[in-house]
Amino acid sequence: MAVEEEGLRVFQSVKIKIGEAKNIPQYPGPNKMRDCYCTVNLDQEEVFRTKTIEKSLCPFYGEDFYCEIPRSFRHLSFYIFDRDVFRRDSSIGKVAVKKEDLQKYHGKDHWFPLQPVCADSEVQGKVHLELRLSEVITDSGVICHKLATRVLECQDLPIVNGQCDPYAAVSLLGPSRSEAKKTKVKRKTNNPQFDEVFFFEVTKPLSYTKRQFDVEEDDVDKLALKVDLWNASNLKFGDEFLGEVRVPLKVLGQSGVHDAWYFLQPRDNGNKSVKADELGSLRLNIVYTEDHVFPTEHYNPLRDLLLQSAHVEPVSASTAHILGEVCREKQEAAVPLVRLFLHYGKIVPFLSAIAHAEINRTQDPNTIFRGNSLTSKCIDETMKLAGMHYLRVTLKPIIDEICTDHKPCEIDPVKLKESENLDTNRENLRQYVDRIFNVITSSGVSCPTVMCDIFFSLRESAASRFQVDPDVRYTAVSSFIFLRFFAPAILSPNLFHLRPHHPDPCTSRTLTLISKTIQTLGSLAKSKSANFKESYMAAFYDYFNEQKYADAVKNFLDLISSSARWDQKSIETPIMLKEGFMIKRAQGRNRFGLKNFKKRWFRLTNHEFTYHKTKGNAKGEGALCSIPIENILAVERLEEESFKMKNMFQVIQPERALYIQANNCVEARDWIDILTKVSQCNRKRLSTYHPSAYLNGHWLCCKLSADTAPGCTPCTGGLPANIQLDVDGDRETERIYSLYSTYMAKLVKMQEACGSKSVYDGPEQEEYSTFVIDDPQETYKTLRHVISAVQTLEQQHMQYKRDKFRKTKYGSQEHPIGDQSFQCYIRQQSESSTYSI
């Protein structure tokens, strides 16, 4: 979800690898071990949780998490919890990284020391204050000064123990000031509207004596206003602290008026600092990305150059290929290139062109596509994007079974447990391999068309290049579909969204053995047993040393790489797109029934949207409600005022709307996105909707009384989109621009290499040897166009920054006082008297 800023869209995303924790303090009981899990939080809102690693003080998680961040935030935090079956889970420590510090750790493995979790430091949100100093004449005619403090509202306060009933306590800080004035409690909201005014006397009238009033308080500049936010709790432990703000009265200046937003700050209670590693440490790899995307016309020159890449001769002189040459890692270039070409329907000709060029450079058919080239990385990325649902429908049922059943499959005699039998384990493993092999080789008709078109091109290019090798047309395809698609998905199902978490060590070992066997079966190698270093694997593979397995692989590869592939996709089987627990409000299908809220298990397929009483019911026929996809007329957010509940959205049907609360803001956005995509092409989709609920006989938003009244707000759906892939072409072009800008020095170096090759016909200079340059003149021409387009975009970004710096007010709702990232930005701009373009 993008934030609009004066015609420019800002996207935030984060990709996190949660590695492991070490040196967690021992449990005080006799067992000493802990059952730990890790959460990822945007400020105080949990958006992801790892699985629990039992009985360990150095838990290994090995989990990846990616999300688009749908709101502003101040800290990306990680909490380590110790699970407790009888009481609330206890927090061991946390890592909190400020938003402005995320770039320091970008893409690097880093050990972060765990810090103590203290209620006084767990704050988020902001408050809007207005201060006004005025003269007041008393009844006796004496002039004194009074400070009027208006607490208008707060936003984004944390939800504590499932509720937020906030109030503010306002006090004036000085030598003899201690009384606090409180606002009313606002129930069930984390965005309270207070709009209450409190008065404080800040200058003594002449009738006061020294004993009653301290002389130091005459100086207004030495006073400060303190505003504390609290959550009114019904628990015996008292109200929970939500954050505070201290405003020195010298901000009033000559005008005597100050109106600003402030970020809430933690309270300093003088707690002792914890020694490094006293609570342990956590290994993380964080990649935070912020994309500033201009309107589409700004990207036309660069985008046109990129989309022409497939038709440039030679392809090594194309804009897209040059990006792969200058990037440090080929994966950096592959991700935005593949998404852009898929979006514009140009992926097959582009991949065909670069694959054909790479095959022609390959001397040995046995090494075809073995390296991490731009071609292999782009085809990998295409399979991940286009083939995700294919993987789910093919592998997920049996992967789920393997992870649930925990059958022993260890066949290494050295690792065998005393209670296990080697023959039994071999049979368990053989059955799993057989079943997975059969579902893969019988899934050819379900392989996505775009993948089949790419495989056809690979097969033809390889067969043409190595005509004496009859098997190369198979190995060129199997090196991707088996080696880089099915085998990795079996090995790490969590990375391919087949499982929510990394498997436990025993299951992981089973999946490793299955993956190695499937990879070898698909390779069609001449000597299969030679592929295994371990003798026990070579012995196990004898089970599959039959011609029927090789024939099945070849039939499967022929089917998915045939240009005249028969298509049965009109008989579409349901594909499970998303599922999970959420809270729904009763729809009122029974006229006199209670419209209460209940937790239900929701499932979305490409056919219907259902909810069930429990997760177990979802496997049978027990849907409490089923909404056909064609009956979804719109999917929109529901304003918080409707039920005083966050993260709510509505699925609008012909007769009524289903109101649902997701677990957090990221989940809410994900559900809205996927439901919108799957229903986007419905003929009867609405153009307007009601952003608030229909309660007590009227719509809360427009106050109309008819429950059938047409919507009062335009829908936010947008253009039809493919379920499997939702790409913003402008955003991907912006990311490619950012890469070119980052590696501008290499672009210039490549220009020099082209010049050198054009005038010098001797051995290639070592500093230029890393570049693939088949045609120096054509490559130089492309580089000149690329550098010009990148410099133009760079000028537009610099102009935007200058304009934003001039217009932005520190203390506004967008940039509250205490916004460290904005303060850093101001320092950078003020230190630069000129801008380099």
Q: List, for residues 609-656, the tens digit of each pLDDT value.
A: 999 988 876 665 678 999 998 899 999 999 988 888 889 999 999 888
* 682, 670 Cβ separation under 8 angstroms: no
Cα(582)–Cα(601) distance, integer angstroms: 7
* 236, 181 Cβ separation under 8 angstroms: no
- β partners of residue 282: 21, 112
What's the pLDDT band for 836 if we cut at 50, 70, 90?
very low
What is the model's pLDDT at position 821? Answer: 55
Q: How do residues 772-786 score in pLDDT, each as one tens digit?
A: 888 999 999 999 999
Asked if pLDDT for residue 209 goes beyond 60, the answer is no
* 452, 430 Cβ separation under 8 angstroms: no
Q: Three-state SS for 348? A: helix
Instruction: Check residues 694 and 209 and name the one with the higher pLDDT.
Output: 694
What's the pLDDT band for 767 if we cut at 50, 70, 90?
low
Specify the range with the lowest mean pLDDT, choosing from 444-453, 460-469, 610-619.
610-619
Q: Which of 188-202, 281-295, 755-769 is modeled with the greatest confidence? A: 281-295
Cα(600)–Cα(584) distance, integer angstroms: 7
Written as six digits, the tokens of 103 are 């770039």
pTM, to two decimals: 0.77
Tell me which amino acid residue 85 is. Answer: V
What is the model's pLDDT at position 275? Answer: 60
Those residues with Cβ within 8 angstroms of residue 700's Cβ, 6 or more apart along the chain or in another chain? 639, 641, 642, 692, 693, 694
What is the model's pLDDT at position 587? Answer: 63
What is the model's pLDDT at position 573? Answer: 57
Going across the sheet that includes 90-98, the strands are 45-49, 36-42, 75-82, 90-98
What is the model's pLDDT at position 449? Answer: 83
Written as six digits, the tokens of 155 are 């936003």
Cα(236)–Cα(255) distance, integer angstroms: 45
* 341, 732 Cβ separation under 8 angstroms: no
Asked if pLDDT for residue 206 goes beyond 50, the answer is no
Asked if pLDDT for residue 172 goes beyond 70, the answer is yes
What is the model's pLDDT at position 233? Answer: 80
Asked if pLDDT for residue 15 goes beyond 70, the answer is yes
Cα(447)–Cα(716) distance, integer angstroms: 33
Instruction: Give the DSSP H or E segment for 351.
Output: helix 347-361
Asked if pLDDT for residue 833 goes beyond 60, the answer is no
Q: How do residues 788-800 score in pLDDT, each as one tens digit?
A: 999 999 999 998 8
Specify the range with the lowest mean pLDDT, choosing from 310-319, 560-569, 591-600.
560-569
> b/e map of 640-664 (b: 16 or more CB within 10 Å)?
bebbebbbbbbbbbeeebbbbbbbb
What is the model's pLDDT at position 569? Answer: 35
Mean pLDDT computed over every residue of the chain: 84
CB atoms near residue 294 (< 10 Å): 18
Specify the range with the lowest mean pLDDT, choosing from 223-232, 510-519, 552-561, 587-596.
587-596
Specify the range with the lowest mean pLDDT, choosing from 19-33, 40-54, 586-600.
586-600
Q: Closest Cα to residue 191, out of 127, 136, 141, 246?
A: 127
Instruction: Give the DSSP H or E segment for 479.
Output: helix 472-481
Q: Closest Cα to residue 600, out of 581, 617, 586?
A: 581
Cα(485)–Cα(227) distance, integer angstroms: 56
Cα(543)–Cα(309) distance, integer angstroms: 47
Cα(217)–Cα(200) distance, integer angstroms: 12
Cα(618)–Cα(601) distance, integer angstroms: 7
Cα(158)–Cα(192) distance, integer angstroms: 12
Asked if pLDDT for residue 205 goes beyond 50, the answer is no
Cα(749)–Cα(770) distance, integer angstroms: 11
Cα(12)–Cα(815) distance, integer angstroms: 17
What's the pLDDT band for 410 if we cut at 50, 70, 90?
very high
User: What would the mean pLDDT of 588-613 be, rounded to a whole number?
Assistant: 78
What is the model's pLDDT at position 434? Answer: 95
Instruction: Provide the residue count of the chain.
Output: 837
Cα(497)–Cα(520) distance, integer angstroms: 24
